Amino acid sequence: MPVIQTRFAQARSIFQRRGGLLRMHEAINLGIDRNVLYTMLKEGAVERLSRGLYRLTDLPPMSNPDLVTVSRKIPTGVICLISALFFHEITSHIPHEVQLAILRRTEPPRVDYPPIRAFIFSEQSFKTGVVTHHIDGVDVRIYSPAKTVADCFKYRNKIGFDVAMEALKMYYNRRDFNLNELMEYARKCRVYNVMRPYVEALL
């Protein structure tokens, strides 16, 4: 087997062991030569999802490429607000950006694509209610439905009160609605008094 084919086969094997998705620096650290990666891109063996993020092209189509891309580029962030609502199917709004929670005093993320909007969360709010979902071979951190509803009330002036109210009503109608969990998150997000009358009106 020619050397270049051997290097291609080795590179493909490395990609496959990592779920078919690698960042440039990860590929290099794992032994894939930069020129081999560029040749794979040129010949259509891999595709570039975003700057510095590559995926094998012969894999099945991604179910949620934007969330996967952002999670791989910014693994410390958490998918939040409208993006989380959309994932949990408790909104009629279609997100035109990936909304991402980052910890206070964290440097704002820089991603060329997809468009993102970062929200600064306090340490307590940032760490609570996080659920890891395995999407397209990648671990994606997303706030739970109840935590997301509470977050929407906290950030209602930025995303719209109508978004928060719709999310509350749609979450209430779900079979997994959990009042105690919802109000506990409301306390932690310091919106208990804001949410309480709207929740009581539904009960």
List beta partners, residue 143.
Answer: 130
What pLDDT shows up at residue 1? 45
- Does residue 115 register a pLDDT over 70? yes
Q: How far apart are CA 149 and CA 80, in angstroms?
A: 10
Q: How far apart are CA 197 and CA 184, in angstroms?
A: 15
Mean pLDDT calculated for residue range 136-149: 94
The sheet with strand 130-135 has its strands ordered as 116-121, 98-103, 78-79, 138-143, 130-135
CA atoms lying within 13 Å on the CB side of residue 14: 21
What pLDDT shows up at residue 36? 87
What pLDDT shows up at residue 64? 86
Name the packing angle between helices 192-202 and 145-154 (round to 10°).
120
Upstream peptide bond of 114 is cis (omega within 30 degrees of 0) = yes
Secondary structure (DSSP) of 35-93: HHHHHHHHTTSEEEEETTEEEETTSPPPS-HHHHHHHHH-TT-EE-HHHHHHHHT--S-
What pLDDT shows up at residue 3? 58
Every domain of the chain and the residues it spans: 3-56, 65-202
Q: How far apart are CA 71 and CA 111, in angstroms?
A: 11
Least confident of 51-55, 176-180, 183-187: 51-55
Residue 81: count of CB within 10 angstroms of its CB: 25
pLDDT band, residue 4 (cuts 50/70/90): low
CA atoms lying within 13 Å on the CB side of residue 55: 19
Least confident of 4-18, 86-100, 140-154, 184-198: 4-18
23 against 165, higher pLDDT: 165
pLDDT digits (tens, 9 = 90+) for 42-87: 888 888 887 788 888 888 777 788 898 899 888 899 999 999 999 9
Classify residue 34 as left (phi > 0), alpha (psi -120 to 50) or beta: alpha
